[in-house]
C-alpha cells in the first residue's frame, strides 16, 4: 500500500510522518510550489513530486490520498479521488459552506472506499477512558461539562492574513478549533438540541469564542476557546451530582501530557480525588503528538472495507458539519439556534 500527500504544510509536518509510522510508504507528494515540493521530496526521500495534484491522484501506484489543502479545493480533489477509486484521508473542514459540504456527502454516500477526516482527539487513550467512565455512570438533568482550549496561533501572533484567518475560505475559529471539540463532545454525549455561539474579534482576526450547547440527553456544555493566549491549555471538566471528571493538560503540545482525575462526592459533600490511569502512549513520543494520533486514524484506512464502519463514520462527520453550520448561524445572530434533526 502506497500513499500520496497533496499539500505540504500540515502534509509535510504531520501526514508524511504519520504514514511512515503506520508503515505505509509515501510514494508521491503534490504542491503548486515546485521548489518546495522538490526540496521535501529530497529531504524525506520520496519517490516523486508532482506540481499538478491531478497527476498524483491518477498515479496507479498510489492507493491512499491525503488531502491537506484549504477547504476551497476539497470538492474538486474529492471528485477526482472518487473517480480514481482511492482511499481518502481529508483535512477538516470539508467545504467552505453547508451547500458545498452537502454536495460532498452526497458523493461520499455512494462511495464504497474508506473516507476519514483527521479528527485526532478521539484517538487519544485519555479521551477513550473519559468516554468509558461517562458511559458507565448514571446521568442527571443537572449534569454539565466545561471545555477550555487555549493556544496562540501563528496568524494571530503575527497578524498574518491568509486562508486560515478567513472563515469564508475554510479558516477561522469555528472551522479550525471548535470542529475538534464538537466532534468529541458529540461522541461523548450524543445529539444536540440547541446552540448559542459568540465569536470575539480583534480587527479582522478571530481570537476567541464562547459556545453554549445543550444535548438531547439534557447535558449542557460551555466551551471557551482563546487562540491568542501564549499559555496553552486544554481541559474537559464534567460535573455531575455525585462525581466530577477532569481531563486536562498543560504544555506546548495540546495533545500531550493529559491527566484524568475522578472526584467522588459523598453524602456529606466531601470530595475524594482519585487519579485515573490510562495507557499513555504519547507522553514518551518525542515528536509532534499529532503524528502519533493521525497514525492511529491511518491504521483504520488499512482495514478491509466494512460498510457499517464506513457509513457510521460518514454519518458522524456529516452530523458534526451540520452542528458547525448551526454554530455559524448562531454567531451571526448572537442567539440560540434550536435543532430539529
Instruction: Name the H helices within the chain.
Output: 10, 16-21, 34-43, 53-58, 74-83, 98-109, 125-135, 154-158, 172-173, 179-189, 289-301, 307-333
Q: Which residue would you say has higher pLDDT here, 341 or 16?
A: 16
What's domain 122-285+314-338's architecture? 2-Layer Sandwich (3.30)
Q: What is the mean pLDDT of residues 172-192?
A: 95
Burial of 277 (0-12, 13-18, 19+ CB in 10 A): exposed
The whole-angstrom separation of Cα 308 and Cα 316 is 12
The whole-angstrom separation of Cα 210 and Cα 285 is 32
pLDDT given for residue 304 in this prediction: 62
| pLDDT tens, position by position, 121-168 | 999 999 999 999 999 887 777 899 999 999 888 777 778 888 888 888
Per cent of the chain over pLDDT 70 is 98
State the Cα angle at 159 between 156 and 164, rounded to 5°: 60
β-sheet bridge partners, residue 145: 221, 238
Residues 6+ positions from 322 with CB-CB distance below 8 Å: 98, 341
| pLDDT tens, position by position, 303-332 | 665 555 788 889 999 999 999 999 999 999
C-alpha cell at 278: 490510562
Res. 88: pLDDT tops 70: yes
C-alpha cell at 152: 496562540
| pLDDT tens, position by position, 190-242 | 999 999 999 999 888 999 999 999 999 899 999 999 998 888 889 999 999 88
Q: Residue 277: which pLDDT band, with cuts at 50, 70 and 90?
A: very high
Total number of residues shown for the chain: 341
When the pLDDT of each residue in the chain is averaged and rounded to a whole number, the result is 91
Q: Which of 38-47, 52-61, 66-75, 158-167 has the lowest mean pLDDT?
A: 158-167
Res. 25: pLDDT tops 70: yes
Q: Tell me, which fold does domain 2-113 have in CATH?
A: Rossmann fold (3.40.50)
| pLDDT tens, position by position, 93-130 | 888 888 888 999 999 988 988 899 999 999 999 999 99
Q: Residue 283: which pLDDT band, with cuts at 50, 70 and 90?
A: confident
Say whether 122-285+314-338 and 2-113 share the same fold: no
pLDDT given for residue 306 in this prediction: 55
HSE, CB side, 13 Å, CA atoms: give it for residue 37.
20
Domain boundaries, the chain: 2-113, 122-285+314-338
Amino acid at each position: 500500500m502506497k500513499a500520496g500527500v497533496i499539500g505540504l504544510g500540515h502534509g509535510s509536518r504531520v501526514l508524511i510522518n504519520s504514514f511512515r509510522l503506520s508503515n505505509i510508504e509515501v510514494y508521491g507528494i503534490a504542491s503548486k510550489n515546485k521548489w518546495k515540493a522538490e526540496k521535501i521530496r529530497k529531504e524525506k526521500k520520496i519517490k516523486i513530486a508532482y506540481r499538478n495534484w491531478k497527476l498524483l491522484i491518477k498515479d496507479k501506484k498510489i492507493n491512499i490520498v491525503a488531502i491537506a489543502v484549504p477547504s476551497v479545493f476539497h470538492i474538486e480533489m474529492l471528485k477526482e479521488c472518487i473517480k480514481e477509486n482511492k482511499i481518502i484521508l481529508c483535512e477538516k473542514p470539508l467545504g467552505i459552506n453547508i451547500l458545498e459540504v452537502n454536495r460532498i456527502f452526497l458523493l461520499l454516500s455512494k462511495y464504497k472506499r474508506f473516507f476519514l477526516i483527521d479528527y485526532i482527539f478521539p484517538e487519544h487513550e485519555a479521551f477513550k477512558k473519559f468516554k468509558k467512565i461517562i458511559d458507565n455512570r448514571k446521568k442527571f438533568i443537572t449534569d454539565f461539562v466545561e471545555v477550555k482550549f487555549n493556544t496562540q496561533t501563528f496568524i494571530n501572533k503575527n497578524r498574518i492574513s491568509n486562508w486560515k484567518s478567513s472563515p469564508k475560505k475554510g479558516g477561522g475559529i469555528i472551522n479550525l478549533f471548535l470542529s475538534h471539540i464538537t466532534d468529541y463532545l458529540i461522541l461523548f454525549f450524543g445529539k444536540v438540541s440547541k446552540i448559542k455561539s459568540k465569536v470575539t474579534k480583534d480587527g479582522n482576526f478571530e481570537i476567541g469564542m464562547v459556545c453554549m450547547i445543550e444535548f438531547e440527553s439534557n447535558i449542557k456544555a460551555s466551551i471557551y476557546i482563546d487562540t491568542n493566549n501564549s499559555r496553552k491549555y486544554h481541559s474537559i471538566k464534567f460535573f455531575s451530582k455525585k462525581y466530577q471528571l477532569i481531563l486536562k493538560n498543560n504544555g506546548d503540545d495540546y495533545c500531550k501530557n493529559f491527566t484524568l482525575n475522578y472526584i467522588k462526592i459523598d453524602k456529606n459533600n466531601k470530595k475524594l480525588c482519585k487519579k485515573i490511569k490510562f495507557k499513555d502512549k504519547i507522553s514518551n513520543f518525542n515528536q509532534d503528538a499529532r503524528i502519533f494520533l493521525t497514525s492511529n486514524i491511518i491504521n483504520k484506512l488499512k482495514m478491509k472495507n466494512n460498510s457499517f464502519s464506513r457509513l457510521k463514520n460518514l454519518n458522524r462527520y456529516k452530523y458534526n458539519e451540520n452542528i458547525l453550520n448551526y454554530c455559524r448561524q448562531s454567531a451571526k445572530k448572537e442567539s440560540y439556534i434550536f435543532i430539529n434533526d
